[in-house]
Chain A
Amino acid sequence: MAILLETKKLTKRFGGLLAIDKLEFHIQRGEVLGLIGPNGSGKSTLFNLISGFLRPTSGRILFDGKEITGLSPERTSGLGIVRSWQATTIFGHFERTVLENIMVASHLRERTGFWEALLSTPGYRREGEELEKEALRLLDLMGLLEHKDRIAMNMPVALQRRLAVANCLATHPKLVMLDEPVAGMSMEESRDLLQRVSELRNQGYTLLIVEHNVRVAMDVCDRMVVLNYGRKIAEGPPTEVRQNKEVIAAYLGEEG
């Protein structure tokens, strides 16, 4: 399998704190990679570095063989890296419906601009129809089709999280990075969402999932990377990682 994303000696320092320490890891095309680690181990920082919300202190990030170190979020998402958030998962303001959320998220595929919108040209309207068709397909994929006209903010968290994933997919990404997609959800809901997400692999998507709930994550991931204090302490298939002594000491042992 070809390597989709890799980091080389990636380091991020906040003042005296070393958040990411010479991290080297890679994601293969078409896999579901789980990223786990205790609180403060640098998972979110790593997300921000890859998606461009933070600039690394040193080191490089390569995506699809191209250098993306320090590119802005708009650029990285244009290249096909899209991430979700823990807190703000969906466009909830202005009473946006589910379908409208996806329509906004499919911005990257829009070809018409302000003037076409102002004049409502035939091309603009045709594109709107195409985007809507595509949005409905994605909603179907995430099992949200029946909820398409609901106001996104009023839905249960489990459905909102599904919508967040659909929002990411609407950009036609090469790499989907999900930041704790099942935080605050029940075990069954978590399992359901992660099941859906891992099935996306068969549709040709590559996924990077940060997860707190190790048991759930182990069920769906092909491979796992474990961080602690900004360093990679283990890497491999879930069964192997589970047995790793350092991981148990740093993480599972504490939990358990």
Chain B
Amino acid sequence: MKSDYKRSRVKTIIVAGAILTALSMPAISQNSFFLNMLIMSGLWSILVLAWSLIWKTGEFSLGMAGFWAIGAYSSTYITNGLHLSFWLALPFGGVMASIVSLIFGPIILRTRTLYFAGITLAFSEMVRLSIQYMPKELGGGFDLTGIPHPYFPGIDFVGSRVPYYYLVLAVLLITVLVMWRIDQSRVGRLMEAVGIHVEPLARSLGIGGLKYKLMGFVIANFFAGLSGALLAHYWLVLYPDSFTMHQSLLVQVMAMVGGANYLILGPIIGAFVMTISGILLQTFLPGLDLLFWGVLVVLAIFFLPHGLASLEHGVSAIKLPWKRAKAVEIEDEGELVGAGVKE
């Protein structure tokens, strides 16, 4: 009991420390390259957090880019097309992504495992192409330029990246808070209970399979949409090509490197490591980022099958594949010897 209490206090201190560090980042440096890395990491973190909520319900979504795009383009339609405030456009991006997932979710969620991955991938590509061929008046098109900066009296969003950094941080913290509450609550347990292997068991106990999968799907895509809306008003230009399968796959890679079974820590670590390393490599060693990521994924799978987040249990989380093989051999020998003695 005492060690539990101690551990939870250590956790509180670490979380508080992380938030304080995040808050004081602009005080360390206001370099726009540096802030860009952090902002992009934050946006990716929200997206990967959303993915991991769908993963919690036992499904593997390859369609995050589609919902990212829905958030980006629908919010841009509010600011660029209707000339309304950004503060309306931001939640609208999330709500639109939710509405779309509420409409198509019951169809998509009829599938499981690989078929789910396939159908979400196809859906995401359909979203991208629909946006591409949508008339400009409805907010589509090959490229969208002239997206306005957010406006808030007294805060300069144009001249500095610091306000935007805090905006992204605020949305990320809200996302984390919601995910944490879901993880702690009975609702979160029920979402896990409709996972692949145990879904029939859950249904026979009256836990609606579709209900909880859809709940997870809609909430997750709401945050994907929010992240998309933030992305649009950060880049200020949008191309449908920014939302391809590559982005969807990158989400899984981030989750895998960070630790997919850690609902909050894994996605954030994965997103930060991948985004920052990607931006640094693109800048200093252009062309090598994909190679580096490939190596990173292989290393993670080999040595840290549960992701970087599993390092919270100390270095013992590092698995050495060759060592494990040896241990098995010895065990087998032992059994053989034992059997011989018995005879």
| Interface residue ranges, A against B (CB under 8 Å) | 51, 53, 72-74, 77-78, 82-85, 88-94, 96, 100, 103-105, 107-108, 110, 113-114, 117-120, 124, 128, 131, 167-168, 170-171
Subset of 13 A-B contacts with CB under 8 Å: A72-B203, A74-B208, A74-B209, A77-B203, A82-B204, A83-B204, A85-B200, A90-B201, A91-B192, A104-B190, A104-B202, A119-B181, A171-B206
Chain B residues lying within 8 Å of A170, measured Cβ to Cβ, are: 205
Q: A100-B189, A107-B190 are in contact. List 19 more A-B contacts (CB 8 A).
A: A53-B203, A73-B203, A73-B204, A74-B203, A74-B206, A74-B208, A88-B200, A92-B198, A93-B195, A93-B198, A104-B190, A108-B206, A110-B186, A114-B187, A117-B188, A118-B181, A128-B186, A167-B205, A170-B205
Instruction: Report the minimal beta-carbon distance from A223 to chain B, rounded to whole angstroms.
Output: 24
Which label, helix, strand, loop or mixed, suits the secondary structure of the B interface?
Answer: helix
Instruction: Find chain B residues with CB under 8 A from A96 CB.
Output: 189
Does chain A have a CB within 8 A of B182? yes
In the assembled complex, the CB of B334 is this many whole angstroms from the nearest CB of chain A, namely: 22
Taking a contact as CB atoms closer than 8 A, the residue among B178, B207, B209, B215 that contacts A104 in the complex is B207
Main secondary structure of the interface of A (DSSP, over half): helix
CB distance from A69 to the nearest CB of B (A): 17
For window 166-208 of chain B, which residues contact chain A by CB distance below 8 Å? 178, 181-182, 185-190, 192-193, 195, 197-198, 200-208
Indicate which residue in B185, B190, B197, B208 contacts A118 across the interface (CB closer than 8 Å): B185
Residues of B within 8 Å of A104, CB to CB, are 186, 189-190, 193, 202, 205, 207
Residue of A nearest to B58 (CB): A93
Residue of B nearest to A119 (CB): B181
Docked-complex contact B201 and A85, CB < 8 angstroms: yes
Tell me how far the C-beta of A100 lies from the nearest C-beta in chain B, rounded to whole angstroms.
7
Residues of A contacting B178 in the complex (Cβ-Cβ under 8 angstroms) = 118
CA of A170 to CA of B202 in the docked complex: distance in angstroms?
Answer: 12
Are B192 and A107 touching (Cβ within 8 A)?
no
Asked if B192 and A117 sit within 8 Å, CB to CB, the answer is no
Which chain A residue has the least Cβ–Cβ distance from B205? A105
Q: Which of A107, A108, A117 has the most CB of B within 10 A?
A: A107
Contact of B207 among A83, A94, A107 (CB under 8 A): A107
A119 to B187, CA, bound (A): 12
User: What residues of B have a CB within 8 angstroms of the CB of A51 in the complex?
Assistant: 204
